[in-house]
Structure 1
Amino acid sequence: MRRTERYHVNGENSLWQLYKTVSFWKVAKNVIIIELSRITPFFRLKNWLFRTFLRMEIGEHTAVAYKVVMDILFPERIKIGSNTVIGFNSTVLAHEYLIDEYRIGDVIIGDGVMIGANSTILPGVMIGDGAVVSASTLVHRDVPAGAFVGGNPMQIIYTKEQMEQRKKGR
């Protein structure tokens, strides 16, 4: 189950009411920083931009690949551990705007996590330490530590224990 805060709206759909939720200037600043981070090839610079301007928590030696999109509205709700890799063109969301409501939730990605290219992380999920998310996965619920997951919708392919057995068999 994802941990999100739900806010009901009246009238127009919730996205149409965006600037009642988030300051226009915050969104404008975040768009500029996120677009800069998407194209810079320097991990230290990218992590500095995230920490300094978006108030994200990013661990040491974390590598966010080219074209990754962090949440534009609530990036401060994203926490990424140390020595983690987020693959090319992935998206990490801390919000979802629906017709009658919007939801906001923290995204917590542990240490030593590998997220494959073109994956989408939805708000309110936790990805445990040492987990592997295969390419093009929709992460719509928590990922246990050490597990290997994949698909749309996401399924557990191997548990931590099965992954350890596979490593012993090499």
Structure 2
Amino acid sequence: MRRTKRYKVEGANSLWNVYKTVSFWKTFKNTAVIEAGRLMPSMKLKNWLYRTFLGMQIGSRTALAYKVVPDIMFPEYIAIGNNSIIGYNTVILAHEYLIDEYRLGKVIIGDNVMIGANCTVLPGVTIGDGAIVSAATLVHRDVPPGAFAGGNPMQIKERTEKSF
């Protein structure tokens, strides 16, 4: 089960009331920083932007590929370890806005993790050290350290060899 905290809303759906849950100006700033970062070819500069202006925890030698989208409302809920790769066009969410509630959850990605292109990581999950997530996977639950995860629905397999 994902680790998220639920917040009930009344009246219109939770996304309609989004600026009661997060500041418009915070979201505006985060969107500008993320859009700049999505196009940034320098990994060092992109990581610095995300650490400094978004409050994300990003380890050394971690690479967020072209057009990766961290959560625009709660990027400070995202932690990525050392020497990990987040593939092209991957989305890392720390929030879910539903009809009658919204949910927030930290996303923890370990050291030496590889996440393939076009993945979506949902709030409240942990991806353990050395795990590999194949392209186009919806990560909707924890991935153990060293495991291989892929598909939709996501299947998790123990890896028997360390290199491919």
Same fold (TM over 0.5): yes
CA apart distance, 1:153: 1.7
State the 1:15 CA deviation: 0.2
How does the TM-score come out when normalised to structure 2? 0.98
- Residue 31 of structure 1 corresponds to 31
Counterpart Cα distance in 2 of 1:36 and 1:167? 35
Aligned counterpart, 1:95: 95
Equivalent position amino acid for 2:6 in 1:
R
Q: Which residue of 1 aligns with 2:54?
A: 54
> What TM-score does the superposition give when structure 1 sets the normalisation length?
0.94
Indicate whether 1:106 and 2:106 are aligned: yes
2:21 aligned with 1:9, yes or no?
no
Write the distance in 2 (CA, Å) between the matches of 1:5 and 1:62: 28
Residue 28 of structure 1 aligns to a residue in which SS?
A: helix
Which structure: greater helix fraction?
A: 1
Runs of 4+ in 1 over 6 A off after TM superposition: none
Cα distance in 2 for partners of 1:153, 1:41 equals 32
Determine the structure 1 residue equivalent to 2:81: 81
Partner of 1:130: 130
Deviations 1:70-128 (A, max 9, x none): 00000000000000000000000000000000000000000000000000000000000
The one-letter code of the counterpart of 2:113 is V
CA apart distance, 1:167: 4.6
| Alignment root-mean-square deviation, CA | 1.1
Matches within 5 A, 1:148-167: 148-156=148-156, 158-159=157-158, 163-164=159-160, 166-167=161-162
How many residues align structurally?
A: 164
Using the alignment, how far apart are the partners of 1:21 and 1:133 within structure 2? 31
Taking only the aligned residue pairs, the percentage that are identical comes to 68
In structure 2, the gaps of 5 or more residues are none
Amino acid aligned to 2:112: G
Measure the CA separation in 2 of the matches of 1:2 and 1:131: 18
